């Protein structure tokens, strides 16, 4: 399958490789099914949430998974999903697959919280006279970003970003995955007690919760 922006995608991996990978990951994930509630933290990086299954493609967390190949869990067995600053590291087709997988594995009434950088805010900053006035540029030694064009190119291409979302796009893709109920929420805030205070990055400025 050709990807619309010609970016690397899981669809380019041979089917036999995918089949053996999926079989192995289902076996590895089985250990977590006996201890409900099941909470998945996708693309955890170095962040470890106690009581959650921390998942990343890199070695070290509770479960090492390449999320481009979906979630190796049965239907309707997951209570909560949280992911911060991960979805933009997937191309659109892989991101759509992951959203559909999240819908499949969540129990009815289960909730997913998704936090990403907001493309609308990035574009606003690009166009603003004070575009440089951003905490992450100052705090993380990005002083080589010396023009608005360098800023926006970095946002799209830096950190292995593959696809950025604004609220409309994120809502649409989640709706296409099956989530009818999409709510934008503030950083750290949730009506669900287990989803409060999870964000670790000030630049996570587009956060939604979806309920299956």
Ligand X SMILES: C[S@@+](CC[C@H](N)C(=O)[O-])C[C@H]1O[C@@H](n2cnc3c(N)ncnc32)[C@H](O)[C@@H]1O
**108 class by beta-carbon count within 10 Å (0-12 exposed, 13-18 middle, 19+ buried):** exposed
Contact between 116 and ligand X per CB under 6 A: no
Neighbours of 163 (CB within 10 A): 21
**132 class by beta-carbon count within 10 Å (0-12 exposed, 13-18 middle, 19+ buried):** middle
Site string for ligand X, 155-184 (x = CB under 6 A): ----x-------------------------
- Residue 9's nearest CA partner among 87, 84, 95 is 95
Contact between 200 and ligand X per CB under 6 A: yes
Min. distance of Cβ 115 from ligand X in angstroms? 8
Neighbours of 62 (CB within 10 A): 19
Contact between 44 and ligand X per CB under 6 A: yes
Contact between 45 and ligand X per CB under 6 A: yes
The structure tokens listed for 200 are 């670790």
- The residue from 38, 40, 67, 119 that contacts ligand X (CB under 6 A) is 67
Contact between 47 and ligand X per CB under 6 A: yes
Min. distance of Cβ 69 from ligand X in angstroms? 8
- Residue 80's nearest CA partner among 207, 180, 192 is 192
- The residue from 30, 31, 58, 197 that contacts ligand X (CB under 6 A) is 58
Contact between 137 and ligand X per CB under 6 A: no
Do 83 and 41 contact (CB within 8 A), yes or no?
Answer: yes
Q: Which parts of this chain interact with ligand X (CB under 6 A)? A: 43-45, 47, 56-58, 65-68, 84-86, 89-90, 159, 200-201
């Amino acid at each position: 399958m050709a990807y619309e922006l010609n970016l690397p995608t899981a669809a380019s991996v041979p089917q036999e490789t995918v089949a053996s990978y999926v079989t192995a990951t289902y076996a590895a994930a089985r250990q977590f099914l006996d201890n409900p509630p099941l909470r998945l933290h996708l693309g955890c990086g170095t962040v470890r949430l106690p009581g959650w299954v921390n998942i990343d493609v890199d070695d070290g967390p509770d479960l090492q998974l390449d999320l481009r190949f979906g979630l190796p869990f049965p239907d309707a067995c997951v209570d909560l999903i949280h992911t911060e600053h991960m979805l933009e590291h997937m191309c659109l087709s892989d991101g759509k697959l992951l959203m559909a997988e999240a819908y499949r594995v969540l129990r009815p009434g289960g909730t997913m919280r998704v936090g990403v950088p907001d493309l609308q805010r990035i574009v606003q900053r690009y166009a603003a006279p004070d575009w440089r006035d951003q905490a992450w540029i100052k705090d993380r030694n990005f002083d080589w970003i010396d023009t608005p064009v360098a800023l926006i190119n970095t946002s799209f291409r830096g950190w292995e970003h593959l696809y950025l979302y604004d609220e409309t796009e994120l809502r649409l893709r989640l709706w296409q995955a099956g989530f009818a109920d999409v709510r934008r929420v503030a950083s750290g805030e949730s009506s669900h007690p287990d989803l409060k205070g999870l964000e670790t990055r000030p630049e996570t400025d587009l956060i939604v919760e979806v309920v299956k």
